[in-house]
């Protein structure tokens, strides 16, 4: 399949009293296996809204999203959640780690939600992100860099064909950023497709393609 994720003409409006915010105004986007695409734009340009719609966490007011050739938009929430759990890795700003679970149990839970726990893969993931020694730590006990790596391990737990990330390197030091970028590159070299909203010039430099957003529209 040449497109793992496609969005057609997405619109998303927010209403607060008299105020209407046009967060997305006709955004179309596509993602192919092996691609790393950076979504860039100033704060408020619609990046997080776009990722939430692509993940099926939010429903667009117009347009639709197709995941592996299957429509994700306007399905019951449980169906969207199941499609997301099996086919997508998600690193959004709200975080994907449960505070009361250890790093290891967070990975395991993500596998459970997708239907199958693979204990060997849990160990491989901890090794991959360099958290083998921290597997029993809870998120609050992790440094910012460790938390970002744990979040990536959870996102990659089910070897998803699609990875969506919102500022995955936003709050980490330069060394951790390099490390995360190398992991992202490995993921895409293995055929994974990653769409990443970012302000990072380093990440953008590694991207095969950059989509610029401004006021809810793509500008190139």
Q: Which residues bind ligand ADP (CB under 6 A)?
A: 14, 16, 21, 23, 41, 43-49
Structural Rg of the chain based on CA atoms: 17
Phi, psi of 111 (to 5 degrees): -70, -40
Closer CB to ligand ADP, 23 or 147, in the complex = 23
Q: How far apart are CA 214 and CA 3, in angstroms?
A: 24
Closer CB to ligand ADP, 33 or 63, in the complex = 63
Closer CB to ligand ADP, 122 or 207, in the complex = 207
With contact defined as beta carbons under 8 Å apart, do 95 and 167 qualify?
no
Q: Kindly state the smallest distance separating residue 168's Cβ from ligand ADP, in Å.
A: 14
Which residues, including other chains, have CB under 8 Å from residue 19's CB and lie 6 or more apart? none
Taken as a whole, the chain contains a residue count of 220
Q: How far apart are CA 61 and CA 160, in angstroms?
A: 27
Q: Kindly state the smallest distance separating residue 163's Cβ from ligand ADP, in Å.
A: 17
Q: Kindly state the smallest distance separating residue 47's Cβ from ligand ADP, in Å.
A: 3
Q: Kindly state the smallest distance separating residue 198's Cβ from ligand ADP, in Å.
A: 11
* Residue 27: burial class (beta carbons within 10 Å; 0-12, 13-18, 19+): buried
Closer CB to ligand ADP, 93 or 118, in the complex = 93
Closer CB to ligand ADP, 104 or 167, in the complex = 167
Q: Kindly state the smallest distance separating residue 52's Cβ from ligand ADP, in Å.
A: 8
């Amino acid at each position: 399949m040449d497109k793992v994720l496609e969005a057609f003409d997405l619109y998303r409006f927010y209403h607060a009293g008299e105020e209407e915010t046009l967060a997305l105004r006709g955004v179309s986007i596509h993602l192919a296996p092996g691609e790393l695409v950076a979504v860039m734009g100033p704060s408020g340009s619609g990046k997080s809204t776009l990722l939430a719609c692509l993940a099926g966490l939010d429903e667009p007011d117009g347009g639709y999203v197709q995941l592996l050739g299957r429509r994700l938009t306007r399905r019951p929430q449980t169906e969207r959640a199941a499609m997301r759990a099996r086919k997508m890795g998600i690193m959004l700003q709200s975080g994907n780690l449960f505070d009361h679970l250890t790093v290891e149990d967070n990975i395991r839970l993500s596998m459970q939600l997708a239907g199958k726990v693979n204990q060997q893969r849990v160990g491989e993931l901890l090794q991959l992100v360099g958290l083998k020694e921290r597997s029993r730590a809870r998120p609050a006990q992790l440094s910012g860099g460790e938390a970002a790596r744990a979040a990536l391990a959870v996102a990659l737990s089910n070897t998803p064909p699609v990875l969506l990330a919102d500022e995955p390197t936003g709050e980490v030091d330069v060394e951790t950023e390099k490390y995360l970028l190398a992991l992202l590159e490995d993921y895409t070299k293995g055929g994974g497709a990653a769409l990443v909203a970012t302000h990072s010039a380093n990440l953008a430099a590694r991207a095969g393609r950059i989509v610029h957003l401004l006021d809810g529209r793509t500008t190139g």
